[in-house]
Structure 1
Amino acid sequence: MSSDPEESRQPDPTDPWDEAVLEAVFAQSDVGLHVLDTDLRVVRVNTVAVGIRGISADRILGLPASEAYAPAGVSVDEDVLRKVLATGHPALDRLVTGRPPTDPHTKHVFSVSAHRLQDRRGTVLGVVVTSTDVTERERAHARLRLLHDVHERIGTSLDVERTARELVDVTVPGFADWVVVALTDAVLKGRAPGLLSRDPAPLLRCAATGRTGAAPPVPEAGAVLLPGIFGATLPSSASLLPPDGHGGAPGARLVTPLAVRGQIFGAVAFRRANGGESYGEEDIALAEGIASRTATCLENALRFTREHIVMTALRSWPLRQEQATQSAVDVALRHRPGGSAAGSWFDVIPLPGARVALVVGQVEQAGLSAVATMSRLRTAVHSLTTLDLDPHELLARLHATTLRLSAEQDTSTGAGSAPDSAGPPEGGDHPTASCTIAVHDPVDGRLDIARAGSSLFAVVRPDGSVDTKPVDDGPLLGAEGPPFACSTFSLPEGSTLCLASAAESGDAGPRTAEVVNALAHPDRTPEAMADAVKRLLAPDRVLLIARTRHLPPSELGQWAVPFDFSAVGTARAHVEERLRQWKHPVDPFTATLVVSELVTNAVRYGAAPIVLRLITDGDTLTCEVSDAGQAAPHLRHAKAVDEGGRGLLICATLADNWGVRHTDEGKTVWAELRPEGEGTAP
């Protein structure tokens, strides 16, 4: 044997071993071999290559490769082969498709490589092409790619019809030439499916369809599709059904229900065009995976729809009371939707004396539980405003309410602390909230503010100056607790207040410069300001813009009352005269009697100075008596033999509403009267 390495690498045609190796490769190898000459004509093929193609060797020998393999549906790239001949650089692992005559209904995929052939002297003899059937490998890769697309592209929105449309877009044409997705009536209307897997023939309506040009027509949107496309009864799992016999496309249908935990959301049917590859066991398993992902997305979409309906209903309660607050402020309200079902809210609450409370809040967690917490906090705010508390006192009570909600939540989950604990419960995900409350008095322009947490709050004065920090941030409700940041201003008429719920955690919210640019236009209406600021907010946040008003002198009467019982008659005279001037519909006798009792109580139990004030707000008359005493009056029922003690009982009986408001200077006892027959305002 020669020791020359170069010589050892060259086969000797006279060597019987070389001839045996070559013969074994051509006769026994699993790899198809195709030998082409320099003109790219077929010189020799091995047994495997002929078997794969299903074409006898006699029919292709001597033919150009492009012509020889055309019956198998193979397109030969002659440019690549000529480049291999010219350069000697092999072309490796190129994928070629074809339909061998032995299996014309199935598209096969081959991995093809080409190498140049030359003799010992370097003369180019031709090119040898190897081919391996990798159809199953490529099908497995295609299924993985499809499953990846299913998870990436189905469920991008929380809308059931769009989810059905996404299923069609993902599967046509890669998995099917014809797809029909049907959903139950309840799902299409945003309700729970209402059908269980044991229901044999649910009512399904067409929700989305798709097809290629070679596929037959699809049903119209809204058409009832069972029985018919999905069979007389809906299969409980992915199944192959025979042709429907109802004028539909020929060929088997692959049908699978869209179900989660036994509830049926709908069904999907797949078909391939005539002459296409039939569905196999792997396709059935793939269809089940596609349907499972789609059904889960439909369930998520329905859950969001229900939460959104609940959130909208809770947020819209109570109805805006524009008529009851228009004497104090002109408001514009906005909500920037975002789909997270966050617990943001705003309220414009009328208070006695033509005052108004502006409230904006945000429960920190998102979801339906946050919306429920938000609703309970709103209810608490409406209840607490009836106590005429200062904003910072109201927030302190609201903080206690939030702690009770935390304790109830922890108790329901088996954890927690006592409901009367002073701080937030240890452990768990207890609710917290931010809340800003501003109370505006249109009589003197006084504005009292208190804040829990951080949120957007700005004051725009009539000259265009913007104060973006009129009050400091405070601790969250349900967290550290009081004291809460508070402040008091005297605002000129035409000032604008901007309140927005807090941004999400980690989001600093709009930049101060952007807020100033949006608000520094006092000539704009509140509606225009609200539109400008809304664009700066994070999704699912609310905005309240309020322009302050002052009561005109013609709607206000105010007198200093001597600290003497003899002044009661003078107070009655003031009331009678002012009611005549106003031509007010309230009964004068009732009004003078109420004022008499309030002034008498102030002289008997209060302290000087005493001030009587009448406010007319439409048909409502508010009678207020202020004094410097801090003792709170209370309603009592006098005995039959008592000569006094019936003052507040008389006021409570005759007035539509009454109460006590404490200030730093003392207290104010007020009563609201309306004409007979109107009753208490809702």
Structure 2
Amino acid sequence: MGSPGGTGTGEVPFLVDGVEAAAVVLGADGTVAWSTPAARRLLAGLDFADGLRAALVAGTGATRAGSATFRAASGTGASLDFRYAAQPLAGNADEHGWLVLLLPRERAAEWEAAQERTQRYTRLAHQAAASIGASLDLVQTTRSLVEVLVPDLADLASVDLAEPVLHGDEPGVIDTTAPKLRRVAVAPSGEAEWPSEVAGIGDLLPEFADSNLLRPVAEGAAVAVSDMAVLAEALGLDGPGLRSIIPEGAHSMLAIPLFARGLVLGAVTLWRTGTERNFDDEDADLLAEIASRAAIGVDNARRYTREHRTAVALQRSLLPRPVTRTAAAETAGTYLPSEGEAGVGGDWFDVLALSSLRTGFVVGDVVGHGLGATAAMGRLRTAVQTLADLDLEPDELLSHLDDLVLSYWPEHDPDDPTSELAAQGATFLYAVYDPVARRCSIASAGHPPPVVLRPGKAPELVDVPPGPPLGVGGMPFEAVDIDLPEGSVLAFFTDGLVERRGVDVGDNMDLLCDVLAENRDRPLEVIGPEVVARLTPARDDDIALLLARTRAIPAAAVAEWELPADPSVVSRARELTSRQLREWGLEELAFTTELVVSELVTNAIRYAGAPVGLRLVRDEILVCEVSDPSNTQPRLRRAVATDEGGRGLFLVAQLTTRWGSRYRRSGKTIWTEQGVEVPSTAALLNAFDVDW
């Protein structure tokens, strides 16, 4: 407590917004109950209490805060004009009085400027809190930072990040002699352009000298410099290197590191060129507050970048090559992970080489996003590849896959961190194209139908029976067969390509058909990106697009016969085979192919009955097929020395590159594949277990 006439020796000054101010507590009766040292100095000898009380009653009343000016006079006639700001105590000045801040009127402008600066910096801090860190994108986070700082705090601002941070990795120690910082965001003041000579977005900052002046930035502290000559000397640069760091006309620099979890991720640098005032401690404190928040946002974005990159790498490693060419079709696939926080998901496509030159096309979509969805997709893809290797019809494959999801896939428990994302509800489509018959069989488990574009005709959606998503159960799957002339284009896709908020799916499907029609003669690897660009999907879901242009095996490359179930026709089968190979110029394969045909036809006659079908297909490989009406699955075994039989399929396996069997709607087909090159003598002798 004190009075206006007190000495105040040794007391701490009372500061308001950085300016020393006088403060008094004026009682309800007009007496001074308390005053600060500055009040006692400023008001010494002045009769102010009654005049101040009168001004307060007139200006603020008993319950309202207010501010105005009043004049205090002394007994000698001297007077002093004051500006005051008053607040009633305990809500009612009639009972408790006022708390009053006083400033000489000549210092009021200084005080008001300080108040305005404080308010502006408070707004700036709130704006930074609301905008920085709202995105998990590194570039967006840093852009938000510089846009907050300019023009309220600086005329130019930039953010530089360590190279590893841009890739999602943790930075090492940032050495001031070799910073390896890359500029990721800049902001000029107003409508001005970023100075052309100063390092811009994407530029690597030049190496500069180690110095005591700049070392604190690498150690986590702010540095303010208002002498550009001193700064240039500390940088140790000249010519273009110096101009790439210090903007022309700059007179003050403030730099502070982005420091998070004990790591220096990069630095924020501010410059003043048009603003007269140099950076001070208050500016540094505000920038430190904003930069600390931004550093957390940058670190979160960095870790998200690392996780997203890992998930995308995993996703892409589980997808086939983007472009494939087989005897049945040429294909081109496009996969785009979703943007923003959703990350990668469970969309995938696949191209499977099946028996007898046929090709399987796969497209699917697992519910959810992230590594869990990617892992679920990987498991589903493996299951599909295994089932497809059994040469199942599309509807049969879907039934087996649905049973697998229902019976063996664990339910996802969101409270268990080790619980893998389940595949229930995943959509899936499987198609098998036969280049000999030029037909495609398609079955769907709740997946969007493909678009078919036949030569010379308009695109159309394939009318595929929809079927339920995987794991739902209750309904059988059905397949539809369509004829595809050579050169037809099939477009398989996931819903992320055509579904967009506010846009009708039917309109996007029509647009997809139009884009395919306009680009029908272009390479598939060009059509895919064009489709994505024209449809402009929302990218809140990942996208898989698989395009396939069909090929056909010419009739001259196919020979087939139907044989009776008579052992005597085995020699006839060998003769037909030998003659056909001569017509194709493959006489060198006659010996091994006759052995294969003889064994397969003999087994069909002995164990299955009539009719027996024999078919040869020539492409880059030679396919031999023997069909019969039996559903008995042949088995490969190695006969021992005392066995009288059992060596036939083993011999077939040794003479061919691949063999297997597949069930037809009635009966089965045993197929083999051989290269068109003549097998070596050693291979033939090994097939017969002959020592040589």
Deviates most, 371-380 or 498-507 = 498-507
Partner residue in 2 for 1:435: 428
Identity of aligned residues (%): 31
Deviations 1:361-403 (A, max 9, x none): 1222122332333233333333332211112222234345556
> 2:172 matched to which residue of 1?
195
Give the drift of 1:225: 6.1
Query: Are the aligned partners of 2:161 and 2:181 in contact in 1 as well (CA < 8 Å)?
Result: yes
Counterpart in the other structure of 2:231 = 246
Match of 2:308 in 1: 307
CA contact (8 A) 1:624 1:671 kept: yes
Q: Which runs of 5+ in 1 are unaligned?
A: 1-18, 36-43, 52-99, 111-132, 417-424
Residue 634 to residue 358, structure 1, CA distance change in 2 (3 Å): same
State the shift of 1:262 in Å: 3.7
Look up the SS of the partner of 2:645 in the other structure. coil
Flag the 1:288–1:572 CA change in 2: closer, same or farther, 3 A: farther
* TM-fit CA distance, 1:544: 2.4
Question: Quick one: which amino acid aligns to residue 434 of structure 1?
Answer: T
Aligned to 1:145: 127
Contact preservation (8 Å) 1:627, 1:666: yes
Q: Give, in whole Å, the separation in 1 of the partners of 2:392 and 2:79.
A: 98
Bigger CA drift: 174-183 or 479-488? 479-488
User: CA 1:281–1:525 in structure 2 vs 1: closer, same or farther (change >3 Å)?
Assistant: closer
Q: Aligned partners of 1:405, 1:263: CA distance in 2, in Å?
A: 45
- Aligned pair 1:594/2:596, yes or no? yes
- Residue 554 of structure 1, CA deviation: 1.4
Residue pair 2:662, 2:670 contacting (<8 A) in 1 also: yes
Give 1:536's aligned amino acid.
L
Distance (Å, rounded) in 1 between the aligned partners of 2:177 and 2:216? 5
The 8 Å contact of residues 51 and 70 in structure 2, kept in 1 or not, is answered as no
Closer/same/farther in 2, CA of residues 641 and 671 from structure 1, 3 Å limit: same
- More divergent stretch after superposition (179-188 vs 307-316): 307-316
How many residue pairs get aligned? The number is: 562
* Aligned partner (choices 33, 47, 60) of residue 81 of structure 2: 47
Match for residue 374 of structure 1 among 366, 374, 377: 377
Distance 1:513 1:494 in 2: 21
Amino acid at match of 2:557: E
How has the CA–CA distance of structure 1 residues 292 and 588 changed in structure 2, closer, same or farther, with 3 Å as cutoff?
Answer: farther
Match of 2:637 in 1: 636
1:211 to partner: Cα distance: 5.6
Structure 1 range deviating more: 281-290 or 651-660? 281-290
> C-alpha displacement at 1:101, in angstroms?
8.4
* DSSP 3-state at the match of 2:597: helix
Partner in structure 2 of residue 357 of structure 1: 360
What does residue 5 of structure 1 align with?
A: none
CA distance in structure 2 between the partners assigned to 1:526 and 1:472 by the alignment: 30
- Following superposition, the deviation at residue 186 of structure 1 comes to 1.1
Which residue of the partner structure matches residue 387 of structure 2? 384
Mapped partners of 1:356, 1:176: distance in 2: 63
Distance 1:510 1:45, change over 3 A: farther
What is the Cα deviation at residue 24 of structure 1?
5.7
Aligned mates of 1:391, 1:632 — CA distance in 2: 20
Aligned partners of 1:455, 1:230: CA distance in 2, in Å?
A: 63
Give the match for residue 46 of structure 2: none
| Residue type of the alignment partner of 2:431 | A
In structure 2, the residue matched to 1:179 is 157
Give the counterpart letter for 1:655 in structure 2: T
SS at 1:621 equivalent: strand
The Cα of 1:257 is off from its aligned counterpart by 3.1
Partners of 1:510 and 1:435 in 2: CA distance: 20
TM normalised by structure 2 equals: 0.69
Flag the 1:178–1:519 CA change in 2: closer, same or farther, 3 A: closer
Higher mean C-alpha deviation, range 260-269 or range 399-408: 399-408
Structure 1 residue 660 displacement after superposition = 0.7
Contact 1:456 1:498 in 2 (8 A): no
Task: Tell me the CA shift for residue 306 of structure 1.
Answer: 5.3
| 2:427 equivalent to 1:451 | no
Is the partner of 2:644 in helix, strand or coil?
A: coil
Q: What residue identity is the alignment partner of 2:137?
A: L
- Is 1:258 matched up with 2:258? yes
Distance 1:376 1:22, change over 3 A: closer
Q: 1:516 to 1:319 in 2, by over 3 A?
A: closer
Q: Which runs of 5+ in 2 are unaligned?
A: 1-48, 60-65, 72-77, 86-104, 235-245, 684-692
Q: How far is 1:195 from its partner?
A: 3.4
CA contact (8 A) 2:70 2:83 kept: yes
1:484 aligns with 2:484: no
Q: Which moved more, 1:302-311 or 1:650-659?
A: 302-311
Query: What does the per-residue CA deviation read over 1:583-606, in whole Å, with 9 as the maximum and x for residues that have no partner?
Result: 138632111111111111111111
What CA RMSD, in Å, does the superposition of the two structures yield over aligned residues?
4.5
1:301-332 deviations in whole A, cap 9, x for unaligned?
55346534652564364325633x2x322434
How many Å separate the matches in 2 of 1:239 and 1:246? 14
On the 8 A contact 1:455/1:503 being kept in 2, the answer is no
Shift of 1:226: 7.9
SS across alignment from 1:565: coil
The equivalent of 1:75 in structure 2 is: none
Select 2:562's aligned residue among 551, 560, 563. Answer: 560
Q: Aligned partners of 2:608, 2:440: CA distance in 1, in Å? A: 26
